[in-house]
Amino acid sequence: MSAEHDAPPSGDVAARPRRDIVSFVRRGSRLTRSRQQAWDRSHERWVLDLPQGERDTLPAPDQRLDLERVFGRRAPLVVEIGSGQGENIAAAAAADPERDHLAFEVYVPGIAQTLMRLEQAGSPENVRILPLDALHSLPILLAPGSITEAWIFFPDPWHKSKHHKRRLVSEPLLDVLDPLLVDGAVLRCATDWAEYAGHMRRVLDADPRVENLFPDGARPTGTASDPLPEDLPREGWAPRFEGRVLTSFERKAHDAGRLVWDLAYRRQELPGTAAVAPPASTATAAPRGPENTESSRPENTGSAHPEEQP
């Protein structure tokens, strides 16, 4: 089936799904010839297909991923939210076969590009892709205590104040992640915008459920082309994560003179709480077919500037 799709039938306004605040924008899903070929060859291997919920980036509310059946084993799970064109997730899966990797990405051409990169990386079996809105899908799909490490690299900064509610790194995201993370799980973030880095620090430093792994870590060295907020902390920054490859997007940030700000936090068990053992998962997922009707950011992993969005 081609990636060029008919528009969904228009329905009654009252019957349309509620409009959640999301951190991505819808973009065209047309694939180039090479990406279409990669999709046709490999989507059944790596892209999971789940019954849809009230919109096409949500699973049906009764869905739960059976990770052991999806990956054929039990292993520590890394979740990347917004995997873009897949440079990082493909390299990580190939380099770390002892862990499983689950990528969330709603930009269809980016998923197709990821399939190409997975083929080039030796076709690792320890990675799957979900074309879903991670913030609203994770609580449905994963059992408590499922995630060993979560990655959010270069999310959309949503520069305008009226758009800050769309920023992915937020208290609602931590509310979603907290029960899904094992005690001691690590949350890694990176951004090339100093103002967003400060926002991330305010959100994470204020949350007692996570602790900064590098409280004395220095700022990245160099001169930034974007303004540094006056209240930007001088300490508390992580060194560059060695498990993140230097992507084409990060190179463009460097070329533009922006510094890259890394953060690393650990989930901690609060007094009076106990870790929740993951229950047996109850459902598995078939590979996702190419009904790609919703996509998100441009190809540079979420650092677009969709300021036209309301």
User: Which residue in the list 133, 156, 226, 262 is annotated as catalytic?
Assistant: 156
Q: How far apart are CA 114 and CA 22, in angstroms?
A: 22
The pair of structure tokens assigned to 119 is 């083929």
Put residue 97 in one of left, alpha, beta given phi > 0 → left and psi -120 to 50 → alpha.
alpha
Which residues, other chains included, contact 12 with Cβ-Cβ below 8 Å and sequence gap of 6+?
A: none
Q: How far apart are CA 170 and CA 149, in angstroms?
A: 17
| 156 catalytic residue (yes or no) | yes
Q: How far apart are CA 308 and CA 84, in angstroms?
A: 21
- Is the Cβ–Cβ distance between 158 and 71 less than 8 Å? no
Catalytic positions: 156
